[in-house]
Structure 1
Amino acid sequence: MSIFKKIFSKSRSQEDGIFFDSIQKILGFPPISIQFYKKAFTHRSSNRLDENGHPINYERLEFLGDAMLSAVIAAHLFNKAPAGDEGYLTKMRSKIVSREHLNDLGKDLNLVQFIESKVPLQHFGENIHGNIFESLIGAIYLDRGYSYCEKFIQNSVISPYVDITRLEGKVISYKSLVIEWCQKEKKIFHYDIFEDNGIGGERLFGVKLSIDDKVVARARATSKKKAEEKASQRAYFAFQEKMDKK
């Protein structure tokens, strides 16, 4: 249940106080303007408008937070990997700010407890966790400035999770690896996608990955993207020795 709903019957000052304390525990420092953080957890389904008729929701803050997170991570990698060229730094940053990782960060902080929405939480997709994590960073920047934004990212992302040596071996997209290898080796590849209702009528998508007119992997998943990634992962492990020599 959203923290807003839990304290709905309380006075405005009590509500703000409980929310303030909860946010302060997550940030590690006190907010100045609690309104930035309330906006960071307001879903567009709330249909709220400001005095100028502009929507009040977290989407613009998410955009800002994404940019701030990328900048702080880029600066960290620039300093910690002095031998890395632009391609290396870009690839490492992508691994740190991948959607999967951001979703995990949002889950770790249990940020969904703060969401104000007219849509039941169970109807949100996985990306809601990463989206509001980014919107929280945007709120920090507007509220306390760059230094506090950097401090939060350092404490919640970089210190506990960023190990450059370990990240070098992390794969964020098997499909990208397969495509890159095929293109380099001048191999013809294609993904054949078909709808598969599966057991019990569940809507699934099947994928056959062919390389040089030979089917090398098959997979099923609840979306085309997931099915392609799963098939690519199986192909990668089948050709790992050859691909790792690229």
Structure 2
Amino acid sequence: MSFISKIFNSHPEKDGDFFLGITHILGFKPKNISIYRKAFLHRSANKKDKDGNPLNYERLEFLGDSMLGTIISKYLYNEVPLGDEGYLTKMRSKIVSREHLNELGKDLELIKYVESRISKSHFGDNIHGNVFEALVGAIYLDRGYQYCEKFINERVIGPYVDIEQLEGRVISYKSLVIEWCQKQKKQFNYNVYEDTGNDTLKHFAVKLSIDNNVIAKARATSKKKAEEAASKRAFFALQDKIKKSK
């Protein structure tokens, strides 16, 4: 029995529950359950292999991200024969967006299988998408490309992908606002600052100004989220002007 298997097979009853749960999610039986254990292992668990190398899901996440992009690209190439490179790239970005992957991870309730030393209530939304990608990577290593493609077709493309709806889905309001400002030769500025207040978690506030006029404000737990939230508010405040300029 390998070192990793010893780590992950030390509690037979718990392992049996994990095997059944993963089998239900996958729709087929895993061959090497230890790979899937690793897909749910957070770095805070501080597990290491026999050589002292850290064990966590991050390398599987990297692999899963690549597999997901490849399989979605193949699907779009076949499904939209008249789509040019720019269109296909944009559609793929919408399907594999962080927001969308987080939704997938939540729907599959993957977080309940995560092993960590941190309370799951302290994880941000991205944990859901990260683990989903790691799971895809584990499927590829355990069962190969065909099973990986089958899982993505059944769990992602079938229930979630609608080409017409995706065409109208906005990936980034910040990109839309910046693009409009550049076309209209308007100056814009995102003034971001810490705004913790009475919150336990650090928050950031942002003021979005266009031509020295504050158009929107927002606050969130990261600078990126705060900027996107302010951009979304600005987009809807300016949407008539933005639409006319297209």
Mark yes or no: TM-score above 0.5. yes
Structure 1 residues 226 and 137: CA distance shift in structure 2, 3 A: same
2:129 is aligned with 1:92: no
Cα RMSD between the aligned structures?
A: 2.1
Could you tell me how far 1:86 is from its partner in structure 2?
A: 1.4
How many Å separate the matches in 2 of 1:157 and 1:181? 32
How many Å separate the matches in 1 of 2:39 and 2:125? 17
Structure 1 residues 31 and 204: CA distance shift in structure 2, 3 A: closer
- Which amino acid is 1:218 matched to? K
1:209 corresponds in structure 2 to 208
Alignment of 1:31-110 (within 5 A): 31-110=30-109
Deviation track 1:83-135 (CA, whole Å, cap 9, x = no partner) reads 22111111111111111111111111111111111222112221111111110
Gaps of 5+ in 1: 1-7
Alignment of 1:130-149 (within 5 A): 130-149=129-148
How many Å separate the matches in 1 of 2:145 and 2:136? 10
Q: How many residues align?
A: 238
- Which amino acid is 1:156 matched to? R
1:159 corresponds in structure 2 to 158
Structure 1 residues 90 and 219: CA distance shift in structure 2, 3 A: same
Identical residues among aligned pairs (%): 65
Structure 1 stretch 37-46 or stretch 200-209: which is displaced more? 200-209
> How high is the TM-score relative to the length of structure 1?
0.89
Deviation track 1:135-190 (CA, whole Å, cap 9, x = no partner) reads 00000000000000000011111000000100111112100100111112222111
2:230 is aligned with 1:231: yes
Structure 1 stretch 204-213 or stretch 144-153: which is displaced more? 204-213
> How high is the TM-score relative to the length of structure 2?
0.89
Structure 1 residues 69 and 233: CA distance shift in structure 2, 3 A: same
2:118 corresponds in structure 1 to 119
Gaps of 5+ in 2: 1-7
